[in-house]
Chain A
Amino acid sequence: MFYTYIFLPLISAILVPFLYKYFNRFVHTGWFVLLVPLSIFIYLVQYIPSVAAGDTYKYTLSWIPSLNVNIVSFVDGLSLLFGLLISGVGSLVIVYSIFYMSKAREALHNFYIYLLMFMGAMLGVVFSDNLLVLYGFWELTSVSSFLLISYWYERKSSRQGALKALLITVLGGFGMLAGFIMMIMMADTYSIREMIANLDVIQSHGLFIPAMLCILLGAFTKSAQFPFGIWLPDAMEAPTPVSSYLHSATMVKAGIYVVARMTPIFGGSSVWFWLVAGIGIITLLYGSLTALRQTDLKAMLAYSTISQLGLIMCLLGVGSLAVYFGPGESSTIFTVAAFAALFHLFNHSTFKGSLFMVVGILDHETGRRDIRYLGGLMQVMPITFTIALIGGLSMAGLPPFNGFLSKEMFFAAVNDVSKAGIFGLGSIGILFPIIAWVASIFTFVYCMIFIFKTFGGQYRPEKLTRKVHEAPWGMLISPAILAVLVILIFFFPNVLGKYILTPALSAILPTMTPSPYDLKISPWHGLNIELIMTIGVIVIGLLLFKSSKRWIQAMRNYPQGLTLNHWYNKGLSGTERLSASLTNGYMTGSLRHYLIYTFAFFVIVLVSSLLLLYGFQFDFSNDAAISIFDIGLVLGMVIAAGTVLFAGNRIVAIVALGALGYMVAMFFVIFRAPDLALTQMVVETVSTLLFLLCFYHLPKLKKGIERIPFKLTNLIISIAMGLTVTLLALSANGHKLFEPITSFFENSYKLAGAKNIVNAILVDFRGFDTMLEISVLAVAGLGVYILVHQRSKGREQHENE
């Protein structure tokens, strides 16, 4: 039941092309797709009461039982929170996309297949308990994100953005794979929950820090933390529903999910704290500062997403201190910080999701998303303006919106951490509140710019390419729902806190036992330092916004040579040059060279490993006696092989090669293997024919080319190759390490009802091999067909020109 829902997106993706083909003329394909996240959401909602009561659920589906890889799913508070976000925001985004993506013009089947693929992968990431399965789904999210960013693949910027996102996130993914493998080695289990149960083994292990660094690399690249965040702004080339879904609400939070999931294991270590909290707060500052100088609304939101992700990351880092202090009074404030991280994560999905949809509306209705052209839209699009105002003020951290609550909790957390006095925080801990405060001012200013430069000021229709009017209801409904949530959460934060956030918190910090009183969110705490900080943000922020004309231009003229993007581009082109020169060095286009590499590698690896592992052992005691037929056949084979080498024309060589093959078949006859003999003979016939066909395309052997100059290296390599294979065959027969499995196959009549053992092996005992072999065969056949036909097609075009 559970797996039906988790795999529903992937399964239904198969149906999308058919739905698109037959029904898209009447109904937008999105309406069918909408059913998927909606049913998953409804299914997951049923878990809320029992998970809030502290229950967890475990489901197992065996996948590769012999390798102990099972798809173990685990439903606890944290995965449920993410599952609800994925399916909930997913439903809203699909409703929005139905009106955003034109049914007549867009390739909707591609779009929805990629989107469903992403949804399935993301659900897989958050519900997997097996680390390797988690990793598999993790990479699938990167791939589907790549496909979605490059959805408008005719545009160069889309392709570049997609490539950048893929390169950076997959680089991190590989790091994470290495980290996961180290963890699996340390704990000797694949299951995250078993690792948490065996904490001591991992924490005292020498690979503890390397594994942590590798996993953090994966989490930071995915969650666009400094300095890896540069892929996110370029990912904005994707259609807006995608930006809103993947690049603000769900996928970029996968890194946060992993950090939260790993907190019970790594939390409490100083390296973990400094990396997560430190990188988080640097990202917060970097993102908010860079967002200020953007003129493209989507780029501004992208940098703002980076900065908000940094905020959540920082809160998780602070929350990990609770593990250091252990259960008790002193850890309560840090537990609350982790709680605030989850709260802000939820809030961010609501307000940033709605803001992205607002930008999509602007883009759709005005054809512009550059603030230098927009202005005064308040009078034309009042509903959109209201939604933008709610989302923007929430992001700025003002009441009565949910962003205010989590921002206050963030200030409280950084104030607490500056006083914690461990991990060297005593001396430089004060930096945390200062940076947080400064970054919040910048956040406030860009929120103001976002709202008032777009909707306030003078309305200038002459600068816009289209006649502007309010968006259709279908595009407004999703952001409106999110905006209503923004306000509702402000007034009833504890409903969310009790049923969804608290269970999730107990998954991050399982040993803590915070009282419900500690986790009560309230808008009014009295006139404390956090409130003063917020008031300071508003006052200074307003001053900066009013004077923005004077300094904003200076910000935008920031030298390009100093940006991270510049270094990324330089590094990329450098690597490309390096790899091109390296590859051109050995890819000469000559088959002979390639064979030399292959054979030399084969000989060196095999001989050295045989020597190192004492593999050479010969045992001739069981061998059959050599008869006169054998000697005759071998002599014939030697003559045939020599003829191939020294033949003056190709037909003779091919015929000699065929003769060689038939003599091998004779050997099978002598050793009473009729199946092999038959196969060898037919294969030999067909391949001689193939040779003759290819022969047509080869240049004629002329006297000049025919005499290949004698080369000593070639002779040595060919003799070594022959020797290696001979020795290998002899010593394979000389070893008796394992019991032969012949006796199993001899039962073929009983097991498979077949008297022909060879056939029973092919179709039954090793049927999987055969199935994959014929698949490879068919694919190779198609490959030949395509190569040949593309070539002749290309030639025809060439002739026509």
Chain B
Amino acid sequence: MKTNDVILKSVTRVAAVIILTFSIYLFMNGHHHPGGGFIGGLSMSSAIVLLYLSFGVDKVRENIRVDFKKLAAIGVLIAIGTGMAGVIFGKPFLTQTFGYYDLPIFGNTELASALIFDTGVALAVIGTAVNIILSISEDR
């Protein structure tokens, strides 16, 4: 059945970019303002799912060549890895640390190891959410 989804496709082209940008903003912003790995990851996966919905699974798969199962595993590994980093420096597991550095363009910036941990969270969330939705949608 050929569906008439011109409006959906046109809107998606614009909306996906906005949602993806916003999700990255949410993720980076999480340390001091509302947001963080979980929300950022989830909104990014909703953008990806929107792409799947409007352009079809095969077409998106050609353009986003990511195995989402592996992405989830990598996310978990990153999270555990930052935990282990504390152990290597003789601190308890999952000790987070932070510091302030003068970086070229950004000026005085705070860098926190929690951000790496949050990256793991975000990747795990994206991987899992997309993986589940894809699996169920492919089940025919």
Q: How far is the CB of A725 from chain B (nearest CB, A)?
A: 25
Known: A690-B132, A763-B114, A781-B72. A678 touches B94 (CB 8 A): no
Bound CA–CA A791/B135 (angstroms): 11
On chain A, the residues within 8 Å of B125 by CB distance are 774, 777
Contact B43 A774 (CB under 8 A): no
Q: How far is the CB of A404 from chain B (nearest CB, A)?
A: 54
Contact B114 A764 (CB under 8 A): yes
Q: How large is the interface on A (under 10, 10 to 19, 20 to 34, 35 or more residues)?
A: 35 or more
Bound CA–CA A800/B133 (angstroms): 27
A714 at the interface (CB under 8 A from B): no
Known: A690-B132, A764-B96, A764-B114. A788 touches B30 (CB 8 A): no
B136 at the interface (CB under 8 A from A): yes
A778 at the interface (CB under 8 A from B): yes
Q: Interface code B52-96, partner A: CB below 8 Å = 1, 0 otherwise?
A: 010000000000000001001101100110010000000001101
**Residues of chain A in range 711-765 having any CB-CB distance to chain B below 8 Å:** 752-756, 758-760, 762-764
Q: How large is the interface on B (under 10, 10 to 19, 20 to 34, 35 or more residues)?
A: 35 or more
On chain A, the residues within 8 Å of B135 by CB distance are 784-785, 788-789
Bound CA–CA A760/B32 (angstroms): 9
Known: A768-B93, A780-B128. A756 touches B33 (CB 8 A): yes
Bound CA–CA A760/B112 (angstroms): 11
Q: How far is the CB of A699 from chain B (nearest CB, A)?
A: 16
Tally A-B pairs: CB < 8 A: 150
On chain B, the residues within 8 Å of A791 by CB distance are 139
Which of B1-9, B10-18, B116-124 binds A?
B116-124
Bound CA–CA A777/B140 (angstroms): 24
User: Which of A674, A694, A752, A777 interacts with B124 by CB under 8 Å?
Assistant: A777
On chain B, the residues within 8 Å of A694 by CB distance are 136
Q: How far is the CB of A32 from chain B (nearest CB, A)?
A: 25
Bound CA–CA A377/B54 (angstroms): 78
Known: A686-B49, A686-B129, A767-B117. A792 touches B69 (CB 8 A): no
Bound CA–CA A343/B67 (angstroms): 60
A679 at the interface (CB under 8 A from B): yes
Known: A755-B33, A774-B125. A679 touches B39 (CB 8 A): yes
User: Which of B30, B39, B75, B140 interacts with A774 by CB under 8 Å?
Assistant: B75
A535 at the interface (CB under 8 A from B): no
User: Which of A675, A689, A690 interacts with B34 by CB under 8 Å?
Assistant: A675
A682 at the interface (CB under 8 A from B): yes
A685 at the interface (CB under 8 A from B): yes
User: Which of B26, B96, B124 interacts with A763 by CB under 8 Å?
Assistant: B96
A683 at the interface (CB under 8 A from B): yes
Known: A755-B31, A755-B32. A778 touches B76 (CB 8 A): yes
Residue of A nearest to B42 (CB): A682
On chain B, the residues within 8 Å of A780 by CB distance are 128, 132
Known: A686-B42, A752-B96, A778-B124. A763 touches B118 (CB 8 A): yes
Q: Interface code A667-702, partner B: CB below 8 Å = 1, 0 otherwise?
A: 000000011001100110110011001100100000
Bound CA–CA A90/B52 (angstroms): 56
Bound CA–CA A778/B78 (angstroms): 13
Contact A682 B34 (CB under 8 A): no
On chain B, the residues within 8 Å of A767 by CB distance are 83, 94, 96, 114, 117
Bound CA–CA A760/B37 (angstroms): 11
Bound CA–CA A782/B38 (angstroms): 19
On chain B, the residues within 8 Å of A690 by CB distance are 132-133, 136
Known: A674-B34, A675-B34, A752-B114. A774 touches B76 (CB 8 A): yes
**Residues of chain A in range 767-799 having any CB-CB distance to chain B below 8 Å:** 767-768, 770-771, 774-775, 777-778, 780-782, 784-785, 788-789, 791-792
Contact B38 A781 (CB under 8 A): no
Q: Interface code B97-136, partner A: CB below 8 Å = 1, 0 otherwise?
A: 0100000000000101010011011001101110111011
Contact A759 B75 (CB under 8 A): no
On chain A, the residues within 8 Å of B49 by CB distance are 686, 689
B21 at the interface (CB under 8 A from A): no
Bound CA–CA A778/B31 (angstroms): 24
Known: A690-B133, A788-B136, A789-B135. A774 touches B124 (CB 8 A): yes
Bound CA–CA A791/B110 (angstroms): 49
Contact A781 B128 (CB under 8 A): yes
On chain A, the residues within 8 Å of B128 by CB distance are 774, 777-778, 780-781
Contact A763 B127 (CB under 8 A): no
Q: How far is the CB of B100 from chain A (nearest CB, A)?
A: 8
Bound CA–CA A792/B139 (angstroms): 7
> A-contacting residues of B (Cβ < 8 Å)?
26, 30-39, 42-43, 45-46, 49, 53, 69, 72-73, 75-76, 79-80, 83, 93-94, 96, 98, 110, 112, 114, 117-118, 120-121, 124-125, 127-129, 131-133, 135-140
> B-contacting residues of A (Cβ < 8 Å)?
674-675, 678-679, 682-683, 685-686, 689-690, 693-694, 697, 752-756, 758-760, 762-764, 767-768, 770-771, 774-775, 777-778, 780-782, 784-785, 788-789, 791-792
Known: A693-B133, A752-B98, A778-B72. 5 other contacts (CB 8 A): A694-B136, A756-B31, A762-B37, A763-B118, A788-B139
15 A-B residue pairings within 8 Å (CB atoms): A683-B42, A685-B46, A689-B53, A693-B133, A752-B96, A762-B37, A763-B36, A763-B114, A763-B118, A764-B96, A767-B83, A767-B96, A774-B125, A775-B79, A788-B135
6 smallest beta-carbon distances between A and B, as pairs: A781-B128, A753-B98, A755-B32, A674-B34, A774-B124, A778-B72
